[in-house]
Amino acid sequence: MFEHRRGRGENLPQDPPPPPSDHHQPIPDFAPDDAKLLTEFATRHPNFLLSEQTHTPVMIRIAYENFTSFFKFLQSQSTLDLLTTLKSSVSAQLNVLRICGFKGEWLDELELRLSRQISLDEEFQKLTELEASNSKYIADMEEEYELLTQRLGELRSKVMAGKETMDYLSNKKKTIMDDRASLNVPFTF
């Protein structure tokens, strides 16, 4: 189906491989949609190819059929489902592609994306926990703020009362001093 030309890094479409001589049933052609899908994919991802292992034409065909099936599966699902609820299925199918001998940047990136999702889920969980912890901290601080505000109000009232007492005492002292000063004048008849 695809041929890798050494040194040029190109995957070029070609006719399906001929059936092996000891095989009695001919290998059927790929369905037009599958052939188109494989060709489009190979055009977009020229580094995606079968490894240099020796494969029989039947094995090559099975490998590309597995890939086509996997790629159709990917296209039929949402990315969120692929990275969450269907993650184990995607991982299993990726392993099949690796066993078939596929390699390339596209597969590596897909595997990285699957493993990265784990860390994103863990990070999301940690952020959720931090958010809850921070909410409790804020609630505690607001409660303490209310208590301190109440205490501040009480202290302000006491300070005001103390100032009023000081004013009263100052006024009383002034009155006494005025009275005393009036007594210091010579006695008159």
Residue 119 has a pLDDT of 63
Strands 102-103 and 49-50, by their bridges, are antiparallel
User: Average pLDDT for residues 25-44, to the nearest whole number?
Assistant: 73
On whether the CB atoms of residues 19 and 26 are closer than 8 A, the answer is yes
Contacts 24+ apart (CB under 8 A), 40-45: 41/71, 42/2, 42/11, 42/13, 45/104, 45/105, 45/106
Rounded CA separation 95/111 (Å): 10
Residue 38 has a pLDDT of 81
What pTM was computed for the model?
A: 0.46
Per-residue pLDDT tens for 109-141? 888 877 776 666 777 888 899 999 999 999 999
Residue 7 has a pLDDT of 44
3-state SS assignment for residue 29? coil
Taking Cα atoms as reference points, which of 115, 27, 100, 45 lies closest to residue 69? 100
The domain limits of the chain are 2-103, 126-189
> What's the farthest any 2 CA atoms get from each other in the chain?
154
